């Protein structure tokens, strides 16, 4: 089984899903020509072009809203945030629009949206780039949150998130981007909401 980095696992997941489904596309600040702030989208713009990898202005509220609208129309956008700290600029879009669409439509409208990017401190990027708002988002009705800890999980969860019909927030750890794990070449998915039991116990289960 090949060893690949957390970053490569995410990129491979994005590439495979773009090829699998013509409705999948990526948008965000500098995701195309610059290859993304942490190079997760490296090479995807050259491979798939302007309609599948879309650079946006610096307006999180704007491009998150654009992604929500696209998802309501049946596309499957994957939005990159340079840092999850910047989600606060688009929190109204995430909480009041993305999170509420299914409820406000009586379950008639899907919102297959992924928002992904780095969410951690400890990398000398400053306080305003170091928030990890998974607790806020996980308690918001209508949203799903994943925080992959290995390259295997990163790829499998990303592919599952893209195929999900509800908004999924994927929070990546910057410190893990260059770390390597075994990841199979063949297709696999990691299901949302299912525990990965490492060791079963009577009092405590890991």
Contact 56, 66 (CB under 8 A): yes
Report which secondary-structure segment, H or E, holds 158: helix 151-163
* Joined tokens for residue 100: 């509420």
* Joined tokens for residue 80: 């990159």
User: What are φ and ψ of residue 23, in 5° steps?
Assistant: -85, -10
Residues catalogued as catalytic: 60, 129
Residues near 76 by Cβ (< 8 Å), separated by ≥ 6? Answer: 17, 21, 23, 24, 25, 112, 113, 114, 162, 163
Contact 32, 54 (CB under 8 A): yes
């Amino acid at each position: 089984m090949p060893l690949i980095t957390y970053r490569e696992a995410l990129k491979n997941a994005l590439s495979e899903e773009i090829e699998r489904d013509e409705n999948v596309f990526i948008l965000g600040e500098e995701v195309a020509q610059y290859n993304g702030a942490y190079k997760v989208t490296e090479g995807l713009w050259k491979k798939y072009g302007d309609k599948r990898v879309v650079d946006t202005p610096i307006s999180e509220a704007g491009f998150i809203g654009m992604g929500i609208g696209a998802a309501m129309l049946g596309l499957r956008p994957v939005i990159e945030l340079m840092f999850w700290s910047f989600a606060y600029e688009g929190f109204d879009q995430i909480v009041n629009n993305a999170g509420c669409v299914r409820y406000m439509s009586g379950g008639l409208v899907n919102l297959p949206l992924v928002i992904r990017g780095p969410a951690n401190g400890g990398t000398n990027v400053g306080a305003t780039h170091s928030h990890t708002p998974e607790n806020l988002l996980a308690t918001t009705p209508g949203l799903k949150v994943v925080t992959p800890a290995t390259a295997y999980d990163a790829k499998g969860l990303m592919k599952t998130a893209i195929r999900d019909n509800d908004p999924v927030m994927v929070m990546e750890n910057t410190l893990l981007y260059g770390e390597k794990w075994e990841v199979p070449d063949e297709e696999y998915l990691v299901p949302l909401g299912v525990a990965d039991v490492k060791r079963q116990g009577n009092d405590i289960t890991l």
